[in-house]
Amino acid sequence: MIEIKLSGRGGQGVVLASQILAAAFFRTGKWVQSFPSFGAERRGAPVAAFLRVDTKEITLRYGITQPDWLIVFDSNLVNNTVMDGVKPEVSVIVNWSPSTQGPKLSLRQRVFVVDATSIAEALNLRTTSFSIVNTAMVGAFAKASRLIDLDNITKAIGELAPIKKKENVAAAKEAYVKVKEVLL
C-alpha cells in the first residue's frame, strides 16, 4: 500500500488534488481511499488531504501518520508541523521558488522541487488571494514518483477540474517537465 499526504493552505486546491490523484489511480484499476483533514476552515489556514492506493481493497479506516509521499503546496509549511511524525525516509515534493531558501529536510529524504506557483500564475490559475497550484503539484507527483502516468492525471483533471480545464492540464504537463530532484 502507498500512503500519500498533501499539505497546503485553504484555497490552494489541496483537497481537489487528492481527488484528482485518487481518480487517476482508480483509472488504472487500483483501490483508492481519499479524505481531507481540516478544522474551522478559512482561506490560508493549513489544510491536509490523504490518499491510500493499493492493488487490493483498502479496509483501513484511520488517518495516515507516516506517509510514503508528502506533497507540500506551500514551502513555508515545511518548517511547520507538516513534517511532524513523518518517517525519515519519506519522499517529499515541495512547491518551491528558486528565489527563496530551499526546504530544510533530512539527508535521508528524497526531495523534489517545482515552482508550481509560477506555473499557475503564468496560466492565470489563481483567486484574488492565492495561486491554485493543485494541478501543477499532481503533475510533479506523477513524474517524481513514477507511480502514475501523466495521461491518467490529465484525464482525471479533465473530469474533475471545475473550471479552466485546458489551463489545469497545461499546468500538470509543465510541472511534470520541470520538477527536479535536489540533493541535500
| Average pLDDT along the chain, 184 residues, taken 10 residues at a time | 94 95 98 85 82 97 91 84 78 86 66 96 92 98 98 98 96 98 81
Q: What is the CATH number of domain 2-182?
A: 3.40.920.10
Q: What is the pTM of this model?
A: 0.92
Contact of 30 with 54, CB cutoff 8 Å:
yes
Given this model, what pLDDT does residue 121 score? 96
Distance between CA atoms of residues 8 and 4, nearest Å: 13
| Close Cβ partners of 152 (under 8 Å, ≥ 6 residues apart) | 24, 25, 27, 28
Given this model, what pLDDT does residue 83 score? 74
Given this model, what pLDDT does residue 91 score? 93
Q: At what angle do helices 165-178 and 134-145 cross, to 10 degrees?
A: 40
Could you tell me the residue ranges of all domains in the chain?
Answer: 2-182
For 79, other C-beta atoms within 10 Å of its C-beta total: 12
- 64 is written with which cell numbers? 495516515
Cα-to-chain-centroid distance, residue 106 = 20
Given this model, what pLDDT does residue 40 score? 60
Given this model, what pLDDT does residue 11 score? 86
Given this model, what pLDDT does residue 130 score? 86
Given this model, what pLDDT does residue 14 score? 95
